[in-house]
């Protein structure tokens, strides 16, 4: 698969991991797909999800503009992942 397709899925997982708590830290895919129809990266790679992941990456991408001396939530960018 082209790199952009894989990166869009991994970016979505990173968005979930930024703020996960409890069970959501173990069931990351269920946060992105609340119907629980995706359980792995292999499932998420299905072409039918391409638009969702590309739009999610445009809206909420993990990136770094600066390095703070500690955890400053206002410097962290978007906090909430998109859901399918």
> Domain range holding 61?
3-75
Q: Cα(19)–Cα(58) distance, rounded to whole angstroms? A: 19
Position 83 in a domain = no
pLDDT, one tens digit per residue, over 21-66 is 899 999 999 999 999 999 999 999 999 999 999 999 888 877 767 7
What total number of domains does the chain contain?
1
Model pLDDT, residue 46: 97
The answer to whether residues 31 and 24 touch, using CB atoms and an 8 Å cutoff, is yes
Position 84 in a domain = no
pLDDT, one tens digit per residue, over 5-15 is 999 999 999 98
Taking residue 24's Cβ as centre, other Cβ atoms within 10 Å add up to 14
Model pLDDT, residue 78: 67
pTM of the model: 0.76
Model pLDDT, residue 73: 73
């Amino acid at each position: 698969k082209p790199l952009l397709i894989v990166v869009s899925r991994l970016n979505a997982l990173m968005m979930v991991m930024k703020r996960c708590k409890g069970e959501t830290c173990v069931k990351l895919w269920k946060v992105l797909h609340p119907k629980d129809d995706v359980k792995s990266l292999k499932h998420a790679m299905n072409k039918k999800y391409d638009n969702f992941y590309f739009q999610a990456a445009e809206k909420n991408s993990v990136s770094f503009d600066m390095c703070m001396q500690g955890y400053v939530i206002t410097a962290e960018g978007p906090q909430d992942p998109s859901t399918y």
